[in-house]
């Protein structure tokens, strides 16, 4: 009997990560999720008793080491890594960003991807190949006024994705990035509220600005991102690597964020 493929999804107890975990479970994967929110992890465990879950802040290398020790103990292998965990970071002009806020954004949105990937690769090689999917952002295609640390990390993540696709391709490990636009849910509403306060506008005005950045005038659903992950890690995506795929209704520009 063929052994079930194992997927690790970070930041997956809620939001986009939760949609990804649910979709991979439905596709037949054995799934382990981690999240920095203990309450969300407990809720996930209660709703998915067949899956495994643990608390981990991926910005802390030691916690990632513990995460992978639990993964090896529970599943003994890894076939898919989805680097989903991330934070929005501050919404402010560069001169108003505190160094601590910059450093925390980089720690989660870039360093954490490195900490997870470096430990995942030996397991993927041992499995004979697999797939890494990095959840980036359409901010990786444009400058992103008022969101400098976030944008910088997402641009860096595309460079990491393409470099690792070259490095790991000979081992049958595919590496891709998904670049969502604004994704419906509590997180984008918090970003909208901060942006509105920064610019002296209403949340509804900012929401409409965001929608106009997309040719399709829409917010993406978490399920749209999850479906793209499922495709990339399936046999249908076997020849796709080194790509940064927009799931964003075609973003035209982010520059209008600074219009007065």
Q: Which residues are catalytic?
A: 150
Contact 33, 84 (CB under 8 A): no
Rounded Cα distance, 25 and 50, in Å: 9
Nearest to 252 by CA among 158, 155, 138: 138
Torsions phi, psi for 185 (to 5 deg) = 145, 180
Contact 174, 243 (CB under 8 A): no
Helix or strand (DSSP H, E) at 30 = strand 30-35
Nearest to 10 by CA among 58, 42, 47: 58
Rounded Cα distance, 254 and 63, in Å: 35
């Amino acid at each position: 009997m063929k052994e079930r493929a194992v997927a690790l999804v970070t930041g997956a107890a809620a939001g986009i990560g939760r949609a990804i975990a649910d979709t991979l479970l439905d596709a037949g994967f054995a799934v382990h999720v981690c999240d920095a929110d203990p309450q969300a992890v407990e809720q996930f465990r209660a709703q998915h008793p067949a899956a495994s879950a643990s608390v981990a802040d991926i910005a802390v290398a030691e916690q990632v080491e513990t995460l992978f020790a639990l993964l090896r103990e529970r599943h003994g292998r890894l076939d898919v890594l989805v680097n989903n965990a991330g934070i929005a970071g501050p919404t402010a002009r560069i001169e108003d960003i505190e160094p601590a806020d910059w450093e925390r954004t980089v720690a989660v949105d870039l360093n954490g991807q490195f900490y997870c990937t470096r430990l995942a690769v030996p397991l993927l090689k041992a499995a004979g190949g697999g797939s890494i999917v990095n959840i980036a952002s359409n901010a990786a295609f444009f400058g992103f006024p008022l969101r400098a640390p976030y944008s910088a990390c997402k641009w860096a993540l595309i460079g990491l994705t393409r470099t690792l696709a070259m490095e790991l391709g000979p081992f049958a490990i595919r590496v891709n990035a998904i670049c969502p636009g604004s994704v419906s849910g509590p997180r984008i509403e918090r970003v909208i509220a901060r942006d509105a306060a920064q610019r002296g506008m209403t949340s509804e005005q900012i929401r409409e600005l965001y929608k106009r950045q997309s040719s399709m005038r829409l917010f993406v659903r978490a399920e749209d991102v999850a479906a793209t992950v499922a495709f990339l890690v399936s046999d249908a995506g076997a020849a796709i690597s080194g790509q940064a795929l927009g799931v964003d209704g075609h973003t035209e520009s982010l520059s209008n964020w600074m219009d007065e």
